[in-house]
Chain A
């Protein structure tokens, strides 16, 4: 492996501008991690317009920082206030808050910070090793391969993600439908444009993301009455004892692995991996009853796993151009707007961008490790800012932001429309994630499919005879059929149990 681009990547990160934006990113990330409700996808969507004025690598360094920074931040409120700032820190509440009540809040936060750092670092190293391998196939990725990949991505995201499966598929279908709006790139026929030239190129990704994730989430949160925040427990002795470290080292190791693997899988990500890591530790423990009563492993495992997953979810995006979760979809959009199309060619065509972003994660994790403990007090104070103050400001930033993208008032209208849709979706139990993902991948899927058929002279068997697209399609069938098979098996098992009983 040629290491020089990796080292050049460090050169990129260490430029003062990039360091600054990395710092800004992780601080914003921690901040929104602390604030319940506003997640990384929403924040990144709202901040998209800010990134247009800066270099692509700097922009993505900042956005990535927000994402993994949020995983650190979410822990703080889970531990201190029993109020998970992020969905991925929900399980941390069980043991983390218990530790805080025993006066060991510092231990919990310290272990979480160390675990997050280890998990993140393990994932970055694996990312560095794996990405160039995938990139070796870059030129073999033609339209048929992208067709299969987009199909697989949409299916995985809608079926593996948490939440109701049918609702996720419905949301994904709506996303696909929205992707068809605009002048057809093959025949220049107008589709769903209603003679509006602003729609000729289709609906822009930015207003959709900012509306569904940003505005929709703000509106939804307004409904929830915020509990008065109690004064947090005093945070003393932030550094965990040697005994704590020894006790949690196994959990950190296993958490890194689980997080890394689940993060790569589309739809997996930070939430799923934190749950899985916690469950594993509880099952492995000699004395499972300790869990929920302040077990250090119960904090170490999920916090390590969610950070490892946050990092490894960059792998499918940066190597295949397939966003694995909602946040990655927004970063995908940010890259496209910067004129960078993520895919197998990225490592070779934009080594500075690729390695700059990857290596910035080392720096970002170190920054987070240093900052997370001293800043706890500040973050807790921010929690007291009322939603009535925060929400209007965020809405204003969102609307101004979307206007600056194309200097087009039409985009503001779109954000408001999609904000309303996003609010209704959340209210009715639909996750907007699959919609946005399917929308992002929809035009890739359609264009690649039609391009492939032109190349194959209309013969669809070509998809199956090419090795890469054939394999991907086999995986697609597997993922589609597996849950059905599993359900059938379970039913038979139950019948078996019933009859034997």
Chain B
């Protein structure tokens, strides 16, 4: 069921349990988070439409977090501008732990390369509750094209047309980097999301395309798509026979990553309580199966480590993009 606003069951019994996560600081007044959640509901923003991977992840977690905190946890979709709309709204919310967001990594470390500087969001303006998981991109071609390896692409003897899932996405960045580093002449053709990109590759409208693994795996298994490389750091367990671009000698790990964000200034105790609840949710069998079904690699690190990962990615991409003179904004 896709419900725009999913009201989840309130389990009062979990309250005492949740409070134990607050640590030893019991003396403070209001604002230090000792009373969190205090019976008030928690809202998790999703910057994408209902039904997309980010939305599904938020909903997969919300149930258990709600049970653990003992209050209702509501997933609210605020789609727009690749998630920037929801992120801006989050930044303006009271930092009390009652408003959170599932934040997409691409918004933090790829979109800033494509949009004007004053529009780019800075993750320093948010607190990070916890990392969630990573989604790998795979470069695919139609079997009829005969393109099976990066070598084949080099020898194609023509400018490669590559489909991307949009401007400022990991799909575009990963391919732009690969082709720039291999010196392959290539033109990006942006589509609107994974499914149209997939169709364009299948129909031979473009030569190759990079799609999130979960969206392509069915066709790969059916032999309708040939996986060329993945852009992961190491081979994803779901695609053991496909080399990574790094193995092939190109320095282009690009992943979609997701994390739970809170407004800047949310007290540490509240963040810790929330992280405890999310970790409980990560540990359930249902959630582990959800990850497997959707080809997601867990990345359940704490806020500090995640901030490090994403900041490194942004710095990395900034320098390689500059080095190769890639302009994501121009779509080429």
Chain A residues near B (Cβ < 8 Å): 52-55, 138-143, 183, 185-190, 197-198, 200-201, 337-339, 341, 345, 404-408, 447, 451, 454-455, 457
CB–CB B203/A141 < 8 A: yes
Contact flags B51-72 to A (C-beta < 8 A → 1, else 0): 1100000000000000000000
Say yes or no: is B13 at the interface (Cβ < 8 Å to chain A). Answer: no
CB contact under 8 A between A406 and B2, given known A142-B205, A188-B329 = no
Assuming the A-B contacts A201-B81, A339-B51, A451-B191, are A143 and B205 also in contact, with contact meaning beta carbons closer than 8 angstroms in the complex?
Answer: yes
- Complex-state Cα separation, A138 to B84, whole angstroms: 34
The reply on B88 being an interface residue by CB < 8 A is yes
A455 touches B161 (CB 8 A): yes
Known: A188-B115, A339-B51. 8 other contacts (CB 8 A): A142-B203, A143-B205, A185-B192, A187-B329, A338-B2, A405-B4, A406-B79, A457-B187
Given contacts A142-B203, A142-B205, A339-B49, whether A200 and B85 have CB atoms under 8 Å apart is: yes
Are A407 and B5 in contact (CB-based, < 8 A)? yes
Q: Write the B153-177 contact mask toward A (1 if CB under 8 angstroms, else 0).
A: 0000001010000111000000000
Interface residues on B, range: 35 or more
Q: Are A341 and B196 in contact (CB under 8 A)?
A: yes
| Chain A residues within an 8 Å CB radius of B328 | 188
Q: What residue in chain A is nearest B4 (Cβ atoms)?
A: A52
Most buried by A among B52, B76, B188, B205: B205
- Contact flag A185-B167 (CB < 8 Å), given A142-B205, A345-B199: yes
Chain A residues, CB < 8 A from B200: 142-143
Can you name 27 A-B residue pairings with CB atoms under 8 Å?
A52-B2, A52-B3, A53-B1, A53-B4, A55-B1, A55-B2, A138-B203, A139-B202, A142-B203, A142-B204, A143-B189, A143-B205, A185-B190, A187-B330, A188-B114, A188-B115, A197-B85, A200-B81, A200-B85, A201-B80, A339-B50, A341-B196, A404-B5, A406-B80, A454-B161, A454-B189, A457-B187
Q: How far is the CA of A32 from the CA of B188 in the complex (A)?
A: 48
**Which residue of the partner chain B has the closest CB to A53?**
B3
Considering the chains assembled together, what is the distance between the CA atoms of A188 and B106 in angstroms?
15
Give the residues in chain A near B166, CB-CB below 8 Å: 185
Q: Which residues of A contact B52 (CB under 8 A)?
A: 339
Q: Which residues of A contact B229 (CB under 8 A)?
A: none
B50 touches A52 (CB 8 A): yes
In the complex the two chains form, what is the Cα distance from A339 to B195 in whole Å?
10
Residues of A within 8 A of B1 (CB): 53-55
- A448: min CB distance to chain B, Å: 10
In the A-B complex, the 9 residue pairs with the smallest Cβ-Cβ separation, listed nearest first, are: A142-B205, A200-B81, A139-B203, A186-B331, A454-B189, A339-B51, A201-B80, A188-B114, A188-B167
* A186 close to B167 (CB less than 8 A): yes
- List the A side residues contacting B329 at CB < 8 Å: 187-189
| Contact assessment for B76 and A407 in the assembled complex, using a CB-CB cutoff below 8 Å | yes
Taken together as a complex, chains A and B put the C-alpha atoms of A147 and B121 apart, in Å, by 35
- Known: A198-B80, A201-B81, A406-B78. Contact between A455 and B167, CB under 8 A? no
Given A186-B331, A197-B88, A455-B161: A139 in contact with B192 (beta carbons within 8 A) = no
For the complex, give the distance between the alpha carbons of A337 and B77 in Å.
13
For residue B210, CB closer than 8 A to chain A, the reply is no
0/1 per residue, B289-332, Cβ < 8 Å to A?
A: 00000000000000000000000000000000000000011110
B331 touches A187 (CB 8 A): yes
Contact A451 B81 (CB under 8 A): no
Q: Is the CB of B77 within 8 A of A406?
A: yes
In the complex, chain A residues whose CB is within 8 Å of the CB of B159: 457
A200 touches B330 (CB 8 A): no
User: Smallest CB-CB separation from B189: which chain A residue?
Assistant: A454
State A139–B188 Cα separation when bound (angstroms): 20
Residue in A55, A183, A407, A447 whose CB lies within 8 Å of B81: A183
| Closest CB in chain B relative to A449 CB, distance in Å | 12
Chain B residues with CB below 8 A from A186, complex form: 167, 190, 331
CB distance from A154 to the nearest CB of B (A): 19
Q: Which residue of B lies closest to A202 (CB)?
A: B80
CA distance A52 to B4 in the complex (A): 7
Contacts of A404 in B (CB 8 A): 4-5
* Residues in B whose Cβ lies below 8 Å from that of A187: 167, 329-331
B100 beta carbon closer than 8 Å to chain A: no
CB neighbours of A138 from chain B (8 A): 203
A201→B200 CA distance, assembly (Å): 23
- Please measure, in the bound complex, the distance between the C-alpha atom of A183 and the C-alpha atom of B168, giving whole angstroms: 12
Would you give the shortest CB distance from B11 to chain A, in whole angstroms?
23
Within 8 Å of chain A (Cβ to Cβ): is B206? Answer: yes
